Amino acid sequence: MSLDANKEEFPVPLHRCQFPVRLAFAMTINKSQGQSVQQVGLDLRTHVFSHGQLYVAFSHCTHPHNIKVIFPQNQNSTKTTNVVFTEVLRGLIDQM
């Protein structure tokens, strides 16, 4: 959105541009200790790098329907390495 000031009011021409900004933030899973979040986005185009990281990311979301995951485009499988306890993941899937 462009806004131009009246040229008669100011000795120098003014032109102001506004950009709509939406409040957002990102947090690494290591910084989310003890916090629950309403929505979780996971980028699994690269594998998780520490033991339990994927479990923590899934478990911090308040509802399983609010978890969004990005997988590599060239991969037909939705699997990643470093699964901690299959019982926990089954419990999450059963809640969906």
For residue range 47-73, list pLDDT tens digits in order.
776 667 788 888 888 888 999 988 888
Asked if 70 and 36 touch (Cβ cutoff 8 Å), the reply is no
Give 28 or 2, the one with higher predicted confidence.
28
Write the DSSP symbol of residue 65.
Answer: G
Q: How much of the chain exceeds pLDDT 70, in percent? A: 62
Identify any residues that bridge with 40 across adjacent strands, giving them in sequence order.
Answer: 67
pLDDT of residue 76: 72
Task: Scan for tokens 């470093």, then name that residue.
Answer: 82
Identify any residues that bridge with 8 across adjacent strands, giving them in sequence order.
Answer: none
pLDDT of residue 1: 46
How large is the average pLDDT for residues 77-82? 63
How large is the average pLDDT for residues 74-87? 65
- Kindly report the average pLDDT of the chain as a whole number: 74
- Amino acid identity, residue 15? H
